[in-house]
Chain A
Amino acid sequence: MTVTERHDPTYVLHQDTVPSADLGKFIEEQKKSCGLIVYSIDAVIHRFTGFSVIEWLYQPFAGDWNALQHMKDSWPQVATSLRLVQGNYQGLKDDAPTVWHGQGLDAAVAKLDAIIDYHANQAEGCDHLSTQLGHALEVSEAAIQVVSLALNFLDSLAQELIEDASVPVLGWGKALVTGPGKVKKAISLIKKGADAIKKLTDLLQKIPEIARYINVGLTLTDETLKFGNTVLSAEATSHLDDTSKQAFG
Protein backbone atom coordinates (compact mmCIF):
# COMPACT_ATOMS: atom_id res chain seq x y z
CA MET A 1 0.00 0.00 0.00
CA THR A 2 1.26 3.47 -0.82
CA VAL A 3 0.46 6.16 1.71
CA THR A 4 0.36 9.72 0.48
CA GLU A 5 -0.37 12.67 2.76
CA ARG A 6 -3.36 14.69 1.62
CA HIS A 7 -2.07 17.79 3.37
CA ASP A 8 1.43 19.08 4.18
CA PRO A 9 1.04 20.33 7.76
CA THR A 10 4.48 21.93 7.83
CA TYR A 11 3.71 24.71 5.37
CA VAL A 12 1.43 26.35 7.94
CA LEU A 13 4.29 26.44 10.41
CA HIS A 14 6.73 28.03 7.96
CA GLN A 15 4.43 31.00 7.42
CA ASP A 16 5.13 34.20 9.31
CA THR A 17 2.51 34.86 11.91
CA VAL A 18 0.31 37.83 11.25
CA PRO A 19 -0.37 39.50 14.58
CA SER A 20 -4.10 39.62 15.32
CA ALA A 21 -3.46 43.04 16.80
CA ASP A 22 -0.05 44.38 17.68
CA LEU A 23 -0.79 44.41 21.39
CA GLY A 24 2.68 43.15 22.30
CA LYS A 25 4.35 46.00 20.41
CA PHE A 26 1.89 48.52 21.89
CA ILE A 27 2.60 47.31 25.44
CA GLU A 28 6.38 47.44 24.85
CA GLU A 29 6.10 51.03 23.54
CA GLN A 30 3.96 52.05 26.51
CA LYS A 31 6.52 50.49 28.86
CA LYS A 32 9.30 52.58 27.33
CA SER A 33 7.39 55.86 27.58
CA CYS A 34 6.21 55.03 31.11
CA GLY A 35 9.78 54.18 32.08
CA LEU A 36 11.01 57.61 31.01
CA ILE A 37 8.28 59.34 33.02
CA VAL A 38 8.71 57.14 36.06
CA TYR A 39 12.44 57.77 36.37
CA SER A 40 11.96 61.54 36.07
CA ILE A 41 9.25 61.85 38.73
CA ASP A 42 9.94 58.98 41.12
CA ALA A 43 12.06 60.99 43.56
CA VAL A 44 9.48 63.79 43.77
CA ILE A 45 6.53 61.44 44.21
CA HIS A 46 8.45 59.36 46.75
CA ARG A 47 9.21 62.51 48.74
CA PHE A 48 5.51 63.25 49.21
CA THR A 49 3.83 59.85 49.27
CA GLY A 50 6.50 57.71 50.92
CA PHE A 51 6.35 55.19 48.07
CA SER A 52 8.52 54.60 45.03
CA VAL A 53 6.20 54.33 42.05
CA ILE A 54 8.84 52.62 39.94
CA GLU A 55 8.50 49.27 41.63
CA TRP A 56 4.74 49.24 41.95
CA LEU A 57 3.54 50.64 38.67
CA TYR A 58 6.22 49.40 36.32
CA GLN A 59 7.50 46.01 37.43
CA PRO A 60 4.25 44.09 36.68
CA PHE A 61 4.80 44.82 33.01
CA ALA A 62 8.35 43.45 32.94
CA GLY A 63 8.81 40.68 30.40
CA ASP A 64 8.81 40.33 26.65
CA TRP A 65 5.31 41.17 25.43
CA ASN A 66 6.34 40.84 21.80
CA ALA A 67 7.26 37.21 22.53
CA LEU A 68 3.90 36.63 24.20
CA GLN A 69 2.15 38.13 21.18
CA HIS A 70 4.18 35.80 18.94
CA MET A 71 3.17 32.79 21.03
CA LYS A 72 -0.47 33.87 20.98
CA ASP A 73 -0.34 34.10 17.18
CA SER A 74 1.61 30.85 16.78
CA TRP A 75 -0.70 28.52 18.71
CA PRO A 76 -3.50 28.78 16.08
CA GLN A 77 -0.94 27.84 13.41
CA VAL A 78 -0.04 24.79 15.46
CA ALA A 79 -3.75 23.99 15.73
CA THR A 80 -4.17 24.29 11.96
CA SER A 81 -1.18 22.05 11.37
CA LEU A 82 -2.57 19.45 13.78
CA ARG A 83 -5.93 19.53 12.01
CA LEU A 84 -4.14 18.91 8.71
CA VAL A 85 -2.34 15.92 10.26
CA GLN A 86 -5.74 14.79 11.55
CA GLY A 87 -7.01 15.06 7.95
CA ASN A 88 -4.13 12.90 6.74
CA TYR A 89 -5.02 10.18 9.23
CA GLN A 90 -8.64 10.51 8.20
CA GLY A 91 -7.55 9.91 4.59
CA LEU A 92 -5.52 6.89 5.65
CA LYS A 93 -8.54 5.51 7.51
CA ASP A 94 -10.86 6.19 4.54
CA ASP A 95 -8.51 4.49 2.06
CA ALA A 96 -7.49 1.54 4.22
CA PRO A 97 -10.56 -0.63 3.41
CA THR A 98 -9.66 -0.54 -0.29
CA VAL A 99 -6.45 -2.45 0.30
CA TRP A 100 -6.89 -4.10 3.69
CA HIS A 101 -9.52 -6.54 4.91
CA GLY A 102 -10.25 -8.56 8.01
CA GLN A 103 -9.48 -8.15 11.72
CA GLY A 104 -6.24 -6.27 11.03
CA LEU A 105 -8.25 -3.56 9.31
CA ASP A 106 -10.70 -3.30 12.23
CA ALA A 107 -7.84 -2.89 14.68
CA ALA A 108 -6.09 -0.33 12.47
CA VAL A 109 -9.29 1.70 11.99
CA ALA A 110 -9.85 1.73 15.75
CA LYS A 111 -6.29 3.02 16.32
CA LEU A 112 -6.65 5.55 13.53
CA ASP A 113 -9.91 6.81 15.05
CA ALA A 114 -8.10 7.30 18.34
CA ILE A 115 -5.26 9.18 16.63
CA ILE A 116 -7.73 11.36 14.75
CA ASP A 117 -9.51 12.23 18.00
CA TYR A 118 -6.28 12.98 19.79
CA HIS A 119 -5.09 15.32 17.05
CA ALA A 120 -8.44 17.09 17.26
CA ASN A 121 -7.93 17.40 21.03
CA GLN A 122 -4.39 18.73 20.58
CA ALA A 123 -5.68 21.33 18.14
CA GLU A 124 -8.42 22.35 20.55
CA GLY A 125 -5.87 22.67 23.35
CA CYS A 126 -3.74 24.95 21.15
CA ASP A 127 -6.78 27.12 20.43
CA HIS A 128 -7.53 27.39 24.15
CA LEU A 129 -3.93 28.41 24.88
CA SER A 130 -4.07 31.10 22.21
CA THR A 131 -7.36 32.41 23.58
CA GLN A 132 -5.99 32.63 27.12
CA LEU A 133 -2.80 34.39 25.96
CA GLY A 134 -5.06 36.76 24.02
CA HIS A 135 -7.01 37.50 27.23
CA ALA A 136 -3.74 38.28 29.02
CA LEU A 137 -2.60 40.58 26.21
CA GLU A 138 -5.91 42.43 25.90
CA VAL A 139 -6.21 43.09 29.64
CA SER A 140 -2.51 44.01 29.86
CA GLU A 141 -2.99 46.54 27.09
CA ALA A 142 -5.99 48.08 28.88
CA ALA A 143 -4.14 48.06 32.24
CA ILE A 144 -0.99 49.68 30.89
CA GLN A 145 -3.07 52.41 29.28
CA VAL A 146 -4.54 53.26 32.70
CA VAL A 147 -1.08 53.09 34.31
CA SER A 148 0.37 55.24 31.52
CA LEU A 149 -2.35 57.88 31.96
CA ALA A 150 -1.84 57.85 35.74
CA LEU A 151 1.92 58.28 35.26
CA ASN A 152 1.44 61.10 32.76
CA PHE A 153 -0.88 62.78 35.25
CA LEU A 154 1.66 62.27 38.05
CA ASP A 155 4.32 63.76 35.76
CA SER A 156 2.21 66.89 35.18
CA LEU A 157 1.53 67.19 38.93
CA ALA A 158 5.22 66.79 39.76
CA GLN A 159 6.20 69.39 37.15
CA GLU A 160 3.75 71.89 38.59
CA LEU A 161 4.86 71.21 42.16
CA ILE A 162 8.45 71.89 41.10
CA GLU A 163 7.62 75.00 39.08
CA ASP A 164 5.44 76.36 41.90
CA ALA A 165 8.37 75.78 44.26
CA SER A 166 10.83 77.66 42.05
CA VAL A 167 10.40 80.93 43.91
CA PRO A 168 11.89 82.46 47.05
CA VAL A 169 10.16 81.49 50.28
CA LEU A 170 8.08 84.69 50.26
CA GLY A 171 6.41 83.74 46.98
CA TRP A 172 5.73 80.17 48.06
CA GLY A 173 2.68 80.77 50.29
CA LYS A 174 -0.04 80.16 47.71
CA ALA A 175 1.62 77.02 46.35
CA LEU A 176 2.03 75.72 49.89
CA VAL A 177 -1.75 75.87 50.23
CA THR A 178 -2.48 74.09 46.94
CA GLY A 179 0.40 71.57 47.33
CA PRO A 180 -1.34 69.12 49.69
CA GLY A 181 -4.25 68.87 47.23
CA LYS A 182 -1.80 67.90 44.49
CA VAL A 183 -0.21 65.30 46.77
CA LYS A 184 -3.67 63.89 47.55
CA LYS A 185 -4.36 63.68 43.81
CA ALA A 186 -0.99 61.97 43.29
CA ILE A 187 -1.88 59.33 45.89
CA SER A 188 -5.25 58.70 44.21
CA LEU A 189 -3.50 58.29 40.84
CA ILE A 190 -1.06 55.73 42.25
CA LYS A 191 -4.06 53.86 43.72
CA LYS A 192 -5.75 53.87 40.31
CA GLY A 193 -2.58 52.47 38.73
CA ALA A 194 -2.31 49.81 41.44
CA ASP A 195 -5.99 48.93 40.97
CA ALA A 196 -5.46 48.48 37.21
CA ILE A 197 -2.55 46.16 37.94
CA LYS A 198 -4.65 44.18 40.43
CA LYS A 199 -7.32 43.65 37.77
CA LEU A 200 -4.61 42.32 35.46
CA THR A 201 -3.03 40.03 38.06
CA ASP A 202 -6.46 38.71 39.11
CA LEU A 203 -7.06 37.69 35.50
CA LEU A 204 -3.58 36.23 35.06
CA GLN A 205 -4.15 34.03 38.12
CA LYS A 206 -7.02 32.31 36.31
CA ILE A 207 -4.87 31.32 33.35
CA PRO A 208 -2.65 28.70 35.10
CA GLU A 209 -5.80 26.83 36.19
CA ILE A 210 -6.94 26.60 32.57
CA ALA A 211 -3.40 25.78 31.44
CA ARG A 212 -3.38 22.88 33.92
CA TYR A 213 -6.48 21.40 32.27
CA ILE A 214 -4.95 21.92 28.83
CA ASN A 215 -1.73 20.33 29.99
CA VAL A 216 -3.65 17.29 31.28
CA GLY A 217 -5.45 17.05 27.95
CA LEU A 218 -2.26 17.29 25.93
CA THR A 219 -0.38 14.90 28.20
CA LEU A 220 -3.13 12.31 27.81
CA THR A 221 -2.82 12.74 24.06
CA ASP A 222 0.94 12.35 24.07
CA GLU A 223 0.74 9.26 26.27
CA THR A 224 -1.86 7.66 24.05
CA LEU A 225 0.13 8.35 20.93
CA LYS A 226 3.01 6.40 22.45
CA PHE A 227 1.09 3.11 22.08
CA GLY A 228 3.16 0.43 20.37
CA ASN A 229 6.27 1.07 18.34
CA THR A 230 4.44 1.13 15.08
CA VAL A 231 5.48 3.25 12.18
CA LEU A 232 2.12 4.92 12.47
CA SER A 233 2.60 6.19 16.00
CA ALA A 234 6.21 7.18 15.35
CA GLU A 235 5.03 9.22 12.42
CA ALA A 236 2.33 10.82 14.50
CA THR A 237 4.64 11.84 17.31
CA SER A 238 7.25 13.15 14.89
CA HIS A 239 4.60 15.42 13.43
CA LEU A 240 3.84 16.76 16.89
CA ASP A 241 7.51 17.38 17.57
CA ASP A 242 7.84 19.14 14.20
CA THR A 243 4.83 21.21 15.05
CA SER A 244 6.20 22.52 18.29
CA LYS A 245 9.70 22.99 16.89
CA GLN A 246 8.49 24.98 13.92
CA ALA A 247 6.25 27.17 16.02
CA PHE A 248 8.58 27.86 18.90
CA GLY A 249 12.05 27.09 17.63
Chain B
Amino acid sequence: MSAFDDPAFRQALAEADAAKAAALSSLQAERTVLARELEQFRKEKAERDKERAAAARRGELGPERQQLQRRIDAGATTWDDVRSGRDRHPSAVAVRGFIDRNLDALAAVVRNDPELQREQQELGAVLGAEPTWPDATDG
Protein backbone atom coordinates (compact mmCIF):
# COMPACT_ATOMS: atom_id res chain seq x y z
CA MET B 1 0.00 0.00 0.00
CA SER B 2 1.39 3.42 -0.89
CA ALA B 3 1.53 6.27 1.60
CA PHE B 4 -1.13 7.94 -0.50
CA ASP B 5 -3.61 5.11 0.09
CA ASP B 6 -3.72 6.00 3.79
CA PRO B 7 -7.41 6.68 4.61
CA ALA B 8 -6.38 9.68 6.73
CA PHE B 9 -4.60 11.19 3.71
CA ARG B 10 -7.61 10.56 1.48
CA GLN B 11 -9.81 12.17 4.15
CA ALA B 12 -7.51 15.22 4.30
CA LEU B 13 -7.63 15.50 0.50
CA ALA B 14 -11.43 15.29 0.48
CA GLU B 15 -11.64 17.94 3.21
CA ALA B 16 -9.31 20.26 1.28
CA ASP B 17 -11.39 19.79 -1.88
CA ALA B 18 -14.60 20.54 0.00
CA ALA B 19 -13.05 23.57 1.75
CA LYS B 20 -11.86 24.93 -1.59
CA ALA B 21 -15.28 24.48 -3.21
CA ALA B 22 -17.04 26.14 -0.25
CA ALA B 23 -14.57 29.06 -0.13
CA LEU B 24 -14.83 29.64 -3.89
CA SER B 25 -18.62 29.52 -3.87
CA SER B 26 -18.88 31.95 -0.97
CA LEU B 27 -16.23 34.35 -2.34
CA GLN B 28 -17.75 34.38 -5.81
CA ALA B 29 -21.19 35.17 -4.34
CA GLU B 30 -19.67 37.99 -2.26
CA ARG B 31 -17.87 39.33 -5.33
CA THR B 32 -21.14 39.45 -7.31
CA VAL B 33 -22.97 41.32 -4.54
CA LEU B 34 -20.10 43.78 -3.99
CA ALA B 35 -19.69 44.47 -7.72
CA ARG B 36 -23.40 45.25 -8.03
CA GLU B 37 -23.38 47.50 -4.93
CA LEU B 38 -20.27 49.33 -6.11
CA GLU B 39 -21.72 49.94 -9.57
CA GLN B 40 -24.90 51.33 -8.03
CA PHE B 41 -22.96 53.51 -5.58
CA ARG B 42 -20.78 54.91 -8.36
CA LYS B 43 -23.83 55.70 -10.49
CA GLU B 44 -25.45 57.58 -7.62
CA LYS B 45 -22.18 59.26 -6.66
CA ALA B 46 -21.73 60.51 -10.22
CA GLU B 47 -25.09 62.26 -9.93
CA ARG B 48 -24.15 63.76 -6.56
CA ASP B 49 -20.78 64.85 -8.00
CA LYS B 50 -22.60 66.68 -10.81
CA GLU B 51 -24.94 68.39 -8.37
CA ARG B 52 -22.03 69.37 -6.10
CA ALA B 53 -20.03 70.74 -9.02
CA ALA B 54 -23.06 72.71 -10.27
CA ALA B 55 -23.61 74.17 -6.80
CA ALA B 56 -19.92 75.08 -6.64
CA ARG B 57 -20.11 76.85 -10.04
CA ARG B 58 -23.11 78.88 -8.85
CA GLY B 59 -21.07 79.96 -5.83
CA GLU B 60 -23.37 78.20 -3.33
CA LEU B 61 -20.41 76.42 -1.68
CA GLY B 62 -18.37 79.58 -1.11
CA PRO B 63 -15.94 81.63 -3.24
CA GLU B 64 -12.92 79.33 -2.69
CA ARG B 65 -14.82 76.24 -3.82
CA GLN B 66 -16.23 78.21 -6.78
CA GLN B 67 -12.73 79.23 -7.86
CA LEU B 68 -11.45 75.68 -7.42
CA GLN B 69 -14.33 74.32 -9.51
CA ARG B 70 -13.51 76.82 -12.29
CA ARG B 71 -9.91 75.62 -12.26
CA ILE B 72 -11.04 71.93 -12.32
CA ASP B 73 -13.38 72.73 -15.25
CA ALA B 74 -10.52 74.47 -17.08
CA GLY B 75 -8.28 71.43 -16.58
CA ALA B 76 -5.85 73.43 -14.43
CA THR B 77 -6.13 70.99 -11.51
CA THR B 78 -7.78 67.74 -10.41
CA TRP B 79 -9.27 66.43 -7.18
CA ASP B 80 -6.25 64.13 -6.87
CA ASP B 81 -3.94 67.18 -6.95
CA VAL B 82 -6.09 68.97 -4.39
CA ARG B 83 -6.26 65.93 -2.10
CA SER B 84 -2.57 65.14 -2.33
CA GLY B 85 -1.42 68.72 -1.73
CA ARG B 86 0.29 68.99 -5.14
CA ASP B 87 -2.01 71.88 -6.03
CA ARG B 88 -0.69 74.90 -4.11
CA HIS B 89 -3.06 77.48 -5.56
CA PRO B 90 -4.73 79.57 -2.80
CA SER B 91 -8.15 78.13 -3.69
CA ALA B 92 -6.80 74.59 -3.25
CA VAL B 93 -5.05 75.49 0.00
CA ALA B 94 -8.27 77.02 1.35
CA VAL B 95 -10.37 74.02 0.31
CA ARG B 96 -7.87 71.62 1.93
CA GLY B 97 -8.33 73.63 5.13
CA PHE B 98 -12.12 73.10 4.89
CA ILE B 99 -11.61 69.40 4.27
CA ASP B 100 -9.36 69.00 7.33
CA ARG B 101 -11.68 70.90 9.64
CA ASN B 102 -14.82 69.16 8.42
CA LEU B 103 -13.32 65.68 8.51
CA ASP B 104 -12.14 66.37 12.08
CA ALA B 105 -15.71 67.33 12.97
CA LEU B 106 -17.06 64.17 11.35
CA ALA B 107 -14.43 62.03 13.10
CA ALA B 108 -15.57 63.50 16.45
CA VAL B 109 -19.19 62.65 15.63
CA VAL B 110 -18.22 59.11 14.60
CA ARG B 111 -16.19 58.48 17.74
CA ASN B 112 -19.12 59.52 19.93
CA ASP B 113 -21.76 57.55 18.01
CA PRO B 114 -22.67 54.47 20.11
CA GLU B 115 -23.68 52.43 17.05
CA LEU B 116 -20.42 53.20 15.27
CA GLN B 117 -18.44 52.49 18.45
CA ARG B 118 -20.05 49.06 18.51
CA GLU B 119 -19.20 48.58 14.81
CA GLN B 120 -15.60 49.54 15.52
CA GLN B 121 -15.39 47.07 18.39
CA GLU B 122 -16.72 44.31 16.14
CA LEU B 123 -14.22 45.26 13.46
CA GLY B 124 -11.45 45.16 16.08
CA ALA B 125 -12.56 41.63 17.03
CA VAL B 126 -12.46 40.56 13.38
CA LEU B 127 -9.02 42.07 12.86
CA GLY B 128 -7.75 41.01 16.28
CA ALA B 129 -6.58 44.54 17.04
CA GLU B 130 -7.45 47.62 19.05
CA PRO B 131 -8.32 50.81 17.17
CA THR B 132 -5.63 53.46 17.09
CA TRP B 133 -6.43 57.05 16.30
CA PRO B 134 -4.10 59.04 14.09
CA ASP B 135 -3.47 62.76 14.70
CA ALA B 136 -6.60 64.69 13.82
CA THR B 137 -4.86 66.59 11.02
CA ASP B 138 -3.54 63.50 9.21
CA GLY B 139 -5.14 62.57 5.95
Contact of B116 among A149, A180, A203 (CB under 8 A): A180
The segment from A16-24, A49-57, A61-69 that touches chain B is A49-57
- Could you tell me if B127 and A56 are in contact, using CB atoms closer than 8 angstroms? yes
B138 to chain A, nearest CB (A): 5
Contact of B34 among A46, A146, A172, A203 (CB under 8 A): A146
Task: Give the A interface residue count (CB, 8 A).
Answer: 72
Within 8 A of B (CB), among A186-230: 187-188, 190-192, 194-196, 199-200, 202-203, 206-207, 209-210, 213-214, 216-217, 220
Taking CB atoms, residues of chain A closer than 8 Å to B126 are: 191, 194-195
Taking CB atoms, residues of chain A closer than 8 Å to B113 are: 180
CA distance A208 to B132 in the complex (A): 34
CA distance A124 to B3 in the complex (A): 10
Question: Given that A128-B13, A150-B34, A180-B113 are contacting pairs, would A156 and B41 also be in contact in the complex, using a CB cutoff of 8 Å?
Answer: yes
Interface of B (DSSP majority class): helix
A169 contacts partner chain B, Cβ-Cβ < 8 Å: yes
A198 to chain B, nearest CB (A): 8
Interface residues of B (CB under 8 A from A): 2-4, 6, 8-9, 12-13, 15-17, 19-20, 23-24, 26-28, 30-31, 34-35, 37-38, 41-42, 45, 48-49, 52, 60-62, 64-65, 68, 79, 82-83, 95, 98-99, 101-103, 105-107, 109-110, 113, 115-116, 119-120, 122-124, 126-127, 129, 131-134, 136, 138-139
CA distance A49 to B48 in the complex (A): 24
Within 8 A of B (CB), among A160-178: 160-172, 175-176
CA distance A109 to B68 in the complex (A): 87
Taking CB atoms, residues of chain B closer than 8 Å to A125 are: 4
CA distance A48 to B41 in the complex (A): 20
* Identity of the chain A residue whose Cβ is nearest the Cβ of B34 in the assembled complex: A149
Taking CB atoms, residues of chain B closer than 8 Å to A139 are: 20, 23-24, 27
- Could you tell me if B4 and A51 are in contact, using CB atoms closer than 8 angstroms? no
- Could you tell me if B109 and A153 are in contact, using CB atoms closer than 8 angstroms? no
Number of A-B contacts (CB under 8 A): 210
- Could you tell me if A192 and B134 are in contact, using CB atoms closer than 8 angstroms? no
Question: Given that A50-B133, A124-B2 are contacting pairs, would A146 and B115 also be in contact in the complex, using a CB cutoff of 8 Å?
Answer: no
- Could you tell me if B109 and A152 are in contact, using CB atoms closer than 8 angstroms? no
CA distance A210 to B41 in the complex (A): 43
Interface of A (DSSP majority class): helix
B16 to chain A, nearest CB (A): 5
* Identity of the chain B residue whose Cβ is nearest the Cβ of A210 in the assembled complex: B12
Question: Given that A146-B31, A167-B65 are contacting pairs, would A187 and B107 also be in contact in the complex, using a CB cutoff of 8 Å?
Answer: no
CA distance A96 to B113 in the complex (A): 84
- Could you tell me if A146 and B106 are in contact, using CB atoms closer than 8 angstroms? no
- Could you tell me if A142 and B34 are in contact, using CB atoms closer than 8 angstroms? no
- Could you tell me if A153 and B37 are in contact, using CB atoms closer than 8 angstroms? yes
Taking CB atoms, residues of chain A closer than 8 Å to B107 are: 47-48
- Could you tell me if A149 and B38 are in contact, using CB atoms closer than 8 angstroms? yes
- Could you tell me if A171 and B60 are in contact, using CB atoms closer than 8 angstroms? yes
Taking CB atoms, residues of chain B closer than 8 Å to A209 are: 12
**Could you list 7 A-B pairs, sorted by A, with CB under 8 Å?**
A46-B139, A47-B138, A160-B48, A164-B52, A171-B60, A176-B102, A195-B126
B109 to chain A, nearest CB (A): 6
- Could you tell me if A153 and B102 are in contact, using CB atoms closer than 8 angstroms? no
Contact of A51 among B35, B41, B105, B131 (CB under 8 A): B131
Taking CB atoms, residues of chain A closer than 8 Å to B106 are: 48, 161, 165, 175-176, 179-180, 183
